[in-house]
Amino acid sequence: MYLPNDNSKIFCLESVADINNEEDSKMFPYLEHIAMRYGITNVYKACDSIESFEESMNVLLYEDRNFKDYEILYFVFSGTDEAIQIDQYFYSLEEIAELFEGKLTDKIIHFANTKSLNLDSETAQFFLSITGVKAISGYTHPHAPFSGVLDSTFFGFYQEIDDVTELVETLLEEHYELCQRLGFRLYY
């Protein structure tokens, strides 16, 4: 069991077909689970266009007075290794990085396994350098069994371990087989 950290917050942003239809998301029970199990406060937003993606991120960046407390940005998107899909369009991680240049310092962006995350070192370094994020994590095997178990363990461990290399070592020690099966990756 993990000791809750009052400052632990996750911002979950999910791409859905229609933001006006709350039934599009299956994330609510999962987010409730991590709040109850790990004491992690989370905020959920949906987006159905690049404009609503930018708007959600800008509200977080400029209007949420607790922005500094959101340590993990949890992105639930479809896509390819180096792009996310929003409303049938693909946006490269380079394009996303340029939208938020220097604004995500010391955050971890974690992608659910709804998209593959298998970056070459140049793309990973560009994204890290431009956005200022501490790390990008996700999985190389999208749509394998839902990564919720590993995601929640990752989030729980991060409450206690803020060094990303130690975090990954601990995650691998505890869940090596699951990390391998899902193709867990962390770029820092």
Pairing of strands 83-86, 89-92: antiparallel
Is residue 66 very low, low, confident or very high in pLDDT (cuts 50, 70, 90)?
confident
How far is residue 35's CA from residue 32's CA, in Å, rounded to a whole number? 5
Residue 148 in this model has a pLDDT that exceeds 90: no
User: What does the pLDDT look like over 1-49, one tens digit per residue?
Assistant: 444 445 578 999 999 999 888 776 778 889 999 999 999 999 999 999 9
Percent of the chain with pLDDT strictly greater than 90: 73
47 bridge partner residues: 15
In a domain, 4, yes or no: no
Q: What's the DSSP call for residue 69?
A: G
Q: What integer is the mean pLDDT of 49-58?
A: 94
113: closest CA among 83, 88, 76, 86? 76
Between 76 and 148, the higher pLDDT residue: 76
| Integer CA distances (angstroms), 30 to 142, 146, 150, in order | 18, 11, 12
| Integer CA distances (angstroms), 16 to 6, 19, 24, 160, in order | 30, 6, 6, 32
In a domain, 174, yes or no: yes
User: What does the pLDDT look like over 150-186, one tens digit per residue?
Assistant: 999 999 999 889 899 999 999 999 999 999 999 999 9
76: closest CA among 126, 134, 123, 30? 30
Note the pLDDT of residue 144.
66
**Overall domain count for the chain:** 1
How far is residue 30's CA from residue 50's CA, in Å, rounded to a whole number? 25
In a domain, 52, yes or no: yes
Quote the mean pLDDT of the chain: 90
Q: What integer is the mean pLDDT of 119-134?
A: 96
Kind and range of the H or E element at 22?
none
In a domain, 109, yes or no: yes
In a domain, 31, yes or no: yes
Note the pLDDT of residue 7.
56
| Integer CA distances (angstroms), 134 to 105, 185, 187, in order | 7, 14, 9
Note the pLDDT of residue 21.
84
In a domain, 3, yes or no: no
Note the pLDDT of residue 3.
44
Q: What integer is the mean pLDDT of 88-106?
A: 94
In a domain, 1, yes or no: no
How far is residue 141's CA from residue 10's CA, in Å, rounded to a whole number? 23
In a domain, 2, yes or no: no
Q: Which residue segment(s) compose the domain that 38 sits in?
A: 9-187
39: closest CA among 64, 4, 10? 4
**What's this model's pTM, rounded to 2 decimal places?**
0.91
Domain with residue 109: its CATH number is 3.40.50.1460
